Structure 1
């Protein structure tokens, strides 16, 4: 069997004895050209895995920053086909960095599930995180995605108890995304001690790597979380960096790419400084 890009990346991280940095950006924010430039620049800045958000009109699990990013992208004309085109363009110069599409089921359903899965695989997508499909609906997308060769990454939260956790993990692949705080993205800071306990609890149920996100904004926080997790996910801070770099009309400026990619570099430094047993 061919080793997936996600599995290969986590194997490389283990060999380096460190956690990885997973970066999230919304596809098409603030426009497709600027977004493509950011996507293309992420690996060199230190991103080990990329989550690319598929804009949606009602992103219920996302905080204000990512909601605003979705709105900017949609207003700029971003669509599912354009998001897949961004992945294709990225793959022309990078065939190693895993890309995971994150979002909601409605755009996939509208596109056509089977068509979407085939096109995603062809474009070079490695996995999906679809936040509004629980395990009870695995037949809807999870199992077809696995059959198509895409990892289906599930979220576990502080409220996922011992009874629920095995069901959440049953068809999860690639890695487990642990949501470190209850609530929406980008609204509170995670507690490293609680995160460490939660990661240990999840690892008792699965051999999959555990990535931790929601609320990580600084290199210091990233380093603390990297002390327990296999990877650290940063999203709202990067999306906010995009927003803060735009002109008064909401357009990209010369400051947009440096604002985001420089932040990724500092976050990567924070993660790489934490060499722990979690990644060893």
Structure 2
């Protein structure tokens, strides 16, 4: 796999940030929260706050890997009538708002129900960059791998501290865009401090691949972002953005984004440390 192909759209944005001597900031919000229009405004606020890559969550009725904050937001979106077509419409509006790559994070069942090739075609057609699939592993994702390659979409799979070196090598060989390194075990959610397992995991992943590595789960402020930015190519923030939106609307999302954006820029990182 050539470096350009492996980078994909999200990876190119991350490497651009790295070449500026900093980590990239990846921001997550679910579509349809607190309402459809409110969700679109909040996602635009992620861009205005300084995010380099966007993750738009596709709310799902059985979000077993999500923490309470994201589960509550997903329930609100679904209760408001949000459907997959509305998520695609949100992606389209986000992609039209800026040139920041837009990924969707989704459990696999909704994509299977929509139709894998059909979803990939529709998603690529509205400017989507790729998918993050937390409950799909490459061994069981042949249909998605083929569709993603067909429509030039990023394929972001997860690795965790419990992943063996063999599993990391296999998983990262199928990634395009970036590798999602979950810094803690268990469900998602903001934490008082990121896991001590994050840096060793990133080191193991970088031994296996040249694809950018993003660290997620737990970062909630600029100080934490600065710490993770010392060793990760990208800092991924989700629950903290959802909580900010819940408490203070899009303005609070932008304010948090600015704090996190300052954090990833606080301590210059050597571009040679890839």
Q: TM-score range by the shorter chain?
A: over 0.9
2:45 maps to what in 1?
41
Residue 51 in 1 paired to residue 44 in 2? Answer: no
Question: Given the alignment of the two structures, is residue 71 of structure 1 paired with residue 79 of structure 2, yes or no?
Answer: no
Say which SS state the counterpart of residue 101 (structure 1) adopts.
Answer: strand
**Hey, what's the Cα distance between the residues in 1 that align with 2:229 and 2:90?**
29
Deviation readout 1:113-138 (Å, 9 max, x if unpaired) = 11111100011110101111122212
Asked whether the equivalents of residues 45 and 253 of structure 2 are also in contact (C-alpha less than 8 Å), the reply is no
Confirm or deny that 1:269 pairs with 2:262.
Answer: yes
Tell me the equivalent position of 1:13.
17
CA distance in 2, matches of 1:153, 1:41: 24
Question: 2-side partners of 1:131 and 1:170: how far apart?
Answer: 16
Contact 2:11 2:212 in 1 (8 A): no
CA distance in 2, matches of 1:130, 1:71: 19
Match of 1:185 among 176, 188, 193: 188
Cα offset for 1:140?
3.2
CA–CA distance in structure 1, aligned partners of residues 172 and 166 of structure 2:
11
2:154–2:176 Cα contact (<8 Å) kept: yes
Q: Is the contact between residue 230 and residue 278 of structure 1 (CA under 8 Å) also seen in structure 2?
A: no
Shift of 1:100: 0.8
Please state how far the C-alpha of 1:159 moved relative to its aligned partner.
0.4
Which of 93, 97, 117 is the aligned partner of 2:100? 97
Question: Could you say what the CA RMSD is over the residues aligned between the two structures, in angstroms?
Answer: 1.9
CA deviations 1:41-88 (Å, max 9, x no partner) are 222211010000000001111110111111011111111111111121
Query: Using the alignment, how far apart are the partners of 2:111 and 2:247 within structure 1?
Result: 30
The answer on 1:29 being equivalent to 2:30 is no
Contact 1:17 1:279 in 2 (8 A): no
- Per-residue CA deviations over 1:3-33 (Å, capped at 9, x if unaligned) read 8432331232122111011000000101110
Q: Which runs of 4+ in 1 moved over 6 A?
A: none
CA distance in 2, matches of 1:190, 1:146: 37
1:169-248 to 2 correspondence within 5 Å? 169-186=172-189, 188-189=191-192, 191=194, 194-245=197-248
Q: Which residue of 2 aligns with 1:248?
A: none
For these two proteins, the number of residue pairs brought into alignment is 269
1:124 aligns with 2:127: yes
CA contact (8 A) 2:181 2:215 kept: yes
Unaligned runs of 5+ in 1: 246-255
3-state secondary structure, aligned to 1:204:
helix
**Structure with the higher fraction of residues in helix conformation:** 2
TM-score by length of 2: 0.92
The TM-score with structure 1 as length reference comes to: 0.90
Q: Paired residue for 1:252?
A: none
